[in-house]
Chains A and B, each alone.
Chain A
Amino acid sequence: QVQLQESGPGLVKPSETLSLTCAVSGYSISSGYYWGWIRQPPGKGLEWIGSIYHSGSTYYNPSLKSRVTISVDTSKNQFSLKLSSVTAADTAVYYCARGYSSSRNDAFDIWGQGTMVTVSS
Chain B
Amino acid sequence: QSVLTQPPSVSAAPGQKVTISCSGSSSNIGNNYVSWYQQLPGTAPKLLIYDNNKRPSGIPDRFSGSKSGTSATLGITGLQTGDEADYYCGTWDSSLSGVFGGGTKLTVL
Partners in one complex: yes
Interface residues of A (CB under 8 A from B): 36, 38, 45-48, 50-51, 59-62, 95, 100, 105-109, 111-114
B103 adjacent to chain A (CB < 8 Å): yes
Residues of A close to B50: CB separation below 8 A? 100, 107, 109
The contact of A48 among B44, B100, B102, B103, by CB within 8 Å, is: B100
> 6 closest Cβ contacts across the A-B interface?
A107-B35, A48-B98, A106-B92, A111-B44, A45-B103, A46-B100
Residues of B close to A46: CB separation below 8 A? 37, 45, 88, 90, 100, 103
Interface residues of B (CB under 8 A from A): 2, 32-33, 35, 37, 43-47, 50-51, 56, 88, 90-92, 95-103
The contact of A59 among B33, B97, B100, B101, by CB within 8 Å, is: B97
Q: How far is the CB of A82 from chain B (nearest CB, A)?
A: 18
Residues of B close to A111: CB separation below 8 A? 44-46
| Given A45-B2, A100-B56: 10 more A-B contacts, CB < 8 Å | A36-B98, A46-B37, A46-B103, A48-B90, A48-B99, A59-B97, A59-B98, A62-B95, A107-B35, A109-B47
